[in-house]
Amino acid sequence: MKERIDEIDMKLIKLLKENARMKYSSLALELGISESAVRKRLRKLVSLGIIKKFTIEYVVPNEVRAAILIKTSPLKPVPEVSKEIVKIEGVDTVYEVTGDNDILVIVKAPSIDAINKCIDKIRAIPGVASTNTLIILRSWS
């Protein structure tokens, strides 16, 4: 039987998204459960693959970020193109999406020149039909 996640699990995920370093005791207090219950739920969420990793968000001063929209050729499966894109230095995240484009790539680099090099590498991948790049000016959380 497949384990399900409940409302408390979802609240736990939300709290960890806001602060992945939050102590078990603080999580327990926020959720109204014991520390051991928090530990048990975390182990479950990790073992089910719902929590994939504990990481950090960062912003490096003067870092250039871009969103690259990619259309692929019907001759090449989208997942094969995505697997090649994720190998490129500077690529932060690759999403397969719906709509006019097939792939959305988030790139982080020290300069516009580095972003351009990343775009050139993406365009060289067999199956990439076109790209449209958006430089990210500001983000809001």
Q: What is the pLDDT of residue 1?
A: 46
Q: Which residues of the chain have pLDDT under 50?
A: 1
Q: What is the pLDDT of residue 139?
A: 84
Tens of pLDDT, residues 72-102: 999 999 999 999 999 999 999 999 999 999 9
User: What is the crossing angle of helices 35-47 and 24-31, to 10°?
Assistant: 100
Q: What is the pLDDT of residue 2?
A: 65
The domains found in the chain, sorted by start residue, are 7-47 (1.10.10.10), 64-136 (3.30.70.920)
| Cα 71 to Cα 123: distance, rounded to the nearest angstrom | 10
Q: What is the pLDDT of residue 18?
A: 86
Return the sign of the alpha-carbon dihedral for residues 98, 87, 49, 41: negative
Using alpha carbons only, how large is the chain's radius of gyration in Å?
19
| Cα 114 to Cα 108: distance, rounded to the nearest angstrom | 9
Q: Which H/E stretch holds residue 18? A: helix 7-18
